[in-house]
Amino acid sequence: MKEKLFLIEGMTCSHCKMTVETELKEAGFSNFKVEVGSAKVECLSTDDEIKVEKAIESAGYKVIK
């Protein structure tokens, strides 16, 4: 397992943080830490990384690459 840092554009407050956390939980992730502007998520594969990006986008934010 490796922890991956995702930088997130558009987050400004704790409500934004909770929205991303909810989407990550719904996507099946349990080992993560979300802060305003970023998320560290334990990913097992490249597919997991794509799943995280989709969850962040579903929350209404953009992953900075």
Q: What is the pLDDT of residues 4-27, one digit of tens each?
A: 999 999 999 999 999 999 999 999
**What does pLDDT average to over the chain?**
96
Residue 1 pLDDT? 73
Q: In which residue are the tokens 């209404």 written?
A: 60
CA-CA distance, 64 to 25, in Å (whole number)? 21
Which domain range does residue 28 map to?
2-64
Work out the pLDDT band at 65, boundaries 50, 70, 90: confident
- CATH number of the domain that residue 6 is part of: 3.30.70.100
Residue 50, phi then psi, degrees to nearest 5: -65, -40
SS3 59: coil
Domain count, the chain: 1
Residue 11 pLDDT? 97
Tally the residues of the chain: 65
Q: How many CB atoms lie within 10 A of CB 47?
A: 9
Segment 20-64, tens digit of pLDDT: 999 999 999 999 999 999 999 999 999 999 999 999 999 999 999
Question: Could you tell me which residues come within 8 angstroms of residue 12 by beta carbon, excluding any fewer than 6 positions away?
Answer: 36
